[in-house]
Amino acid sequence: MTTRLYSHPIYLEHLTPPGHPERPDRLRAVARVLEDEAFAKLDRIEAPLGDEATILYAHPEEFVEKVRRSIPEEGIVSVDADTSVSPKSWEAALTAIGAANAAVDDVFSGAADNVFVASRPPGHHAEKTTAMGFCLFNNAAIAARYAQRRHGAERVAVVDWDVHHGNGTQDIFWDDPSVLYCSTHQMPLYPGTGAKNETGAGNIVNAPLAPRTGSDTFRDAFLSRVLPAIDNFRPDLVIISAGFDAHHRDPLAEINLTEEDFDWATGQLMGRATQFSNNRVVSLLEGGYDLQGLAFSVGAHVKRLMKG
C-alpha cells in the first residue's frame, strides 16, 4: 500500500490574528508527528500550485475574484468574524487546491493507493459564494469535481468527520446525486446546519452527534448511517474531509473521540474503498485545534492509510 503525503511551506504563511485557533502551528505539529520513523515509508511530495481554473468547478468566477481582491499587500484582513487573509493566503489556498487535485491524479493513475494532504486554509465551510469558518475555497468539493471532469469518476463520496458540519460541501452538492456527502458533527454547534432532515437530492447524509458524547455514538453513526449510504452509492473515489476537532482535547467542541476512533473510521472507509473504488482514498486536512490531539490523531489516521 503506497501512501503519499502532500504539504508545502507556503501553508505556514497563511497568517491569522494572534490567538486564532486556525494557526500555522497546526501544520508544524502535524509535520513533527510525521517525522517519526513509523512514517519513513511515506512518499513525501511538495504540493504543487493549483490551476486557478479548477476553482470554478465549485465556485463562480465573481466569488473567486472577490476572494482575490480581499488579499492585502500587508497585514491581516478579516473576511468575516472568523476568517482572515494575509499577503500569502491566495498562494496558500491555491496550493491547497493543487495538492488535493494532484492527490486525485495520483490515486487514479496508480502513483499512490491513498493520499493525505496536510494543508491550510481548510475548506469544508466554504460555500459556493461565501468564504467562512476559516475557509476560502472548498478543497474537497473542487477535488470531487476534478475527479469527475478529469478522470471520468461517475460517483464520488465525500465523508466529513470534522466536528463542525461541512455546510459548504453540502451547499455545493445539495442537488447533485453524483456526489454523496456524509457528515458526522456535533449539533448544536457552528455553523448551525447538518440536521438529519437535510437530505438534498437524497445524496446528503447527516449524522449529528449530541454534545459530550464519544466513541460509541460516533461509531454507531458511522455503522448505521454513513457506511450503509456508501454501500448503496458504490463510489469510484472516497474523499475524506479529515478534521480532528472531535478529539476530546479540542477546545472548540464537546465530542470526546480519541485517536483510536479516527484509526477505526479510516479503516472502515478504506474497506469500502477496497470494495468499490480500487483503494482510492484522498484525505484532506480540515479542523483540529488542540496541537497534541491533532498530531496524535493525524498520526493514527496516516498509520492506518499506510497499513492498507
Contact 40, 303 (CB under 8 A): no
User: How many residues comprise the chain?
Assistant: 308
∠ CA 256-262-264, nearest 5°, is: 115
Instruction: Kindly list the catalytic residues.
Output: 125
